[in-house]
Structure 1
């Protein structure tokens, strides 16, 4: 099922070096260490996940093996490694940390009680494997610390380019990743794991999709920047000031290895062969959608990694294999330079 690339160790080393260079650049600018990717949080939301009762055996696996409820931390972000004005649009991310999870653990997460999911708002990854992702990351690394005004101008052009592509029924992951992400509401996005994972005895991809009317109304809804550097935070705060929201956690099982490869993360698994199926609901009450206090606790005090979790959901494929050491390196840099211990919470209040 998995096939390690011949140069994977070298690619892993170069990825760590490239991500470290991004962190060193941003730390030199601000004096504060942030993530090498998805540095800027736009929403930090406390929620609860309810695992559905009566799932069929092929879906009742790992975290979803039995019905129950767990606390969740949701972190909405965009992918650059520097904290940018929202006029620079970029792909969006959603990281979930599910707390109080029992079961056999993945290597490196022994003794923890969390299950993380790291997602983005596209069904497939921007690169097929780690080697190709390294090339993309090096391009992004070169833009770190460049003049923000130039980035905003380029982003405006790329958004227009993406709009033309979409008008003809297409999408460009490359254009979006370089600053052409349409300026729509983050809470209206559907997020995808993009890469595959073990799912007990099966293999699957995950997705989180808005399900409550208020969130579904935001799907594809444009927002106006009006010069707001933190427009996404303001929009998320405005939403959660008035209401809560609900999402569905969905699973897409691998049913055809020919059309659903494990090693090529750039391939969209066809939903006509294996549709996403809802396995849990995520419910968030009214709250501050983002605050300085939440950011201090979650942005600085927590880390999110697909390697935090159960052995039943082991990350698969080239992209996931190189993530483990890269994420660990990023966490170590933040902890060392900020003097803030990064931990795995045992309860929601310890994540605050």
Structure 2
């Protein structure tokens, strides 16, 4: 892990808590309970300033389009998430009658039931929701009261490929602007190791590959993990997961040729019955087995048993009816955020604290704010002289045969079954992987045809802090 100069604030937090900051500060109104968190620079304010710099670096790499949605209205920014296979407003979250007393906190009460919004999607920014290997996302908004909501965000892999915010940003910077095989290799095997160290870079590449190679037969039969920890009141930190409730129809063999397969499968399933997930938590043990600050470490169930606390139910309905489609469009306008919660359930850890800054920056751009003109320079992967050299005919002579060779290999062996160095150098496959992680989008992805960027746009790199 990169040495970020973190210092524990256990004793200071226990004595004084964390002072509220100005609007938009990551720690406003919250306390550091029991010293579970370690702030960079030794204090929340010092870390907030560092995260502002990280967010600024990300936004320099982020490109936004100023188009419309076809009706003349501004098109909302959706760079942080992929196409939805399901968006419903009529789900319900019901806590178990036998909820353990130590977990009865806030809205988590035995037998309590609340309306919920549910969104199931891929992590890719590409259109469609087929059964191709991908990372999947689940977002839930629980309406616990007239002015109280709780957003739960989870992905279909239990850990992040990065341990903390600095590793996330290092990965984004190392891969930004990569258009050719040479540039991708330089970013993944030169720039990334130089930024985080060889062992860390190898772990990030390996986690990336494993997380995105899973083929889904049904999103209703997938398990989704929070990755990061949240506070559960006096019970301390937990990680949560949403897993298929007992019973239910097994996932059918996926139809890889249908780009809308996952939506169609959910529609067929919901036409005959409900879909249910168990909300479960794993409780904190210690910094070694259940670290709060390291998002790349799995909380093993053998160490931290899974405790079911509630059931999320999506009721039987016609997903293709007019009412359901209208609801799905409204769900698409929502900005899910793990910080949409109360003090008792606030997110914990470096990644979650950095996510707050990133979400706020994205919200500012959705409101039409922009960086100063001086910052609107494309982010390049290689130094200018090197890029100029690569633009010579020699670059094409090297790159085209490599692409053709990988096209032939792809017909026989899936990219994720190749040795890691070969799999990560596959132009088309790596491009899909980076899109699934939200690091690049559309035509900017490695392996995609290059096109001139419209005037005023910047290279597009989505926030790495998405769940």
User: In which range does the TM-score fall when normalised by the shorter chain?
Assistant: 0.7 to 0.9
| Distance across 1 between alignment mates of 2:319 and 2:367 | 25
Which residue number corresponds to residue 97 of structure 2? 53
Is this contact kept in 2: 1:101–1:115, CA < 8 A? Answer: no
The structure 1 residue matched to 2:294, chosen from 264, 267, 277, is 264
Which residue number corresponds to residue 239 of structure 1? 269
Q: CA deviation at 1:212?
A: 4.3
| Distance across 2 between alignment mates of 1:87 and 1:285 | 23
Change (3 A) 1:85 1:285: closer
Which residue number corresponds to residue 85 of structure 2? 42
Which residue number corresponds to residue 44 of structure 2? none
Which residue number corresponds to residue 113 of structure 2? 69
Change (3 A) 1:64 1:87: closer
| Distance across 1 between alignment mates of 2:224 and 2:112 | 23
| Distance across 2 between alignment mates of 1:184 and 1:140 | 30
Is this contact kept in 1: 2:131–2:255, CA < 8 A? Answer: no
Q: CA deviation at 1:65?
A: 3.8
SS of equivalent to 2:102: coil
* Stretch moving more, 58-67 or 254-263: 58-67
Which residue number corresponds to residue 222 of structure 2? 189
1:210-251 Cα shifts (integer Å, max 9, x gaps): 114225x12xx541122x222221221121112112111101
Is this contact kept in 1: 2:131–2:262, CA < 8 A? Answer: no
- Structure 2 gaps of 5+ residues are 1-35, 42-49, 181-204, 370-467
Is this contact kept in 2: 1:99–1:114, CA < 8 A? Answer: yes
| Distance across 1 between alignment mates of 2:144 and 2:175 | 36
Q: CA deviation at 1:81?
A: 3.4
Change (3 A) 1:125 1:254: same
The structure 2 residue matched to 1:326, chosen from 348, 358, 369, is 358
Is this contact kept in 2: 1:34–1:81, CA < 8 A? Answer: no
| Distance across 1 between alignment mates of 2:58 and 2:132 | 24
Q: CA deviation at 1:141?
A: 5.9
SS of equivalent to 1:205: strand
Which residue number corresponds to residue 303 of structure 1? 335
Compute the RMSD of aligned alpha carbons.
3.0
Is this contact kept in 2: 1:62–1:312, CA < 8 A? Answer: yes
| Distance across 1 between alignment mates of 2:342 and 2:220 | 28
1:43-70 Cα shifts (integer Å, max 9, x gaps): 1133111112232232112331443110
TM-score by length of 1: 0.74
Is this contact kept in 1: 2:132–2:256, CA < 8 A? Answer: no
Q: CA deviation at 1:129?
A: 0.5
| Distance across 2 between alignment mates of 1:26 and 1:124 | 34
| Distance across 2 between alignment mates of 1:185 and 1:140 | 31
Which residue number corresponds to residue 124 of structure 1? 159
- Structure 1 gaps of 5+ residues are 103-111, 147-170, 338-352
The structure 1 residue matched to 2:260, chosen from 213, 230, 233, is 230
Which residue number corresponds to residue 155 of structure 1? none
Q: CA deviation at 1:328?
A: 2.6
Change (3 A) 1:143 1:49: farther
The structure 2 residue matched to 1:12, chosen from 55, 74, 79, is 55
Is this contact kept in 2: 1:27–1:34, CA < 8 A? Answer: no
Alignment of 1:23-42 (within 5 A): 24=64, 32-42=75-85
**Considering only CA atoms, is the larger Rg found in Structure 1 or Structure 2?**
2
Q: Whose RCO is larger (CA < 8 A, sep 6+)?
A: 1
| Distance across 1 between alignment mates of 2:67 and 2:304 | 44
TM-score by length of 2: 0.57
Q: How many residues align?
A: 294
Is this contact kept in 1: 2:84–2:129, CA < 8 A? Answer: no
Alignment of 1:261-300 (within 5 A): 261-289=291-319, 292-300=325-333
Alignment of 1:48-197 (within 5 A): 48-83=92-127, 86=130, 89-101=133-145, 112-138=147-173, 142=177, 172-176=206-210, 179-197=212-230
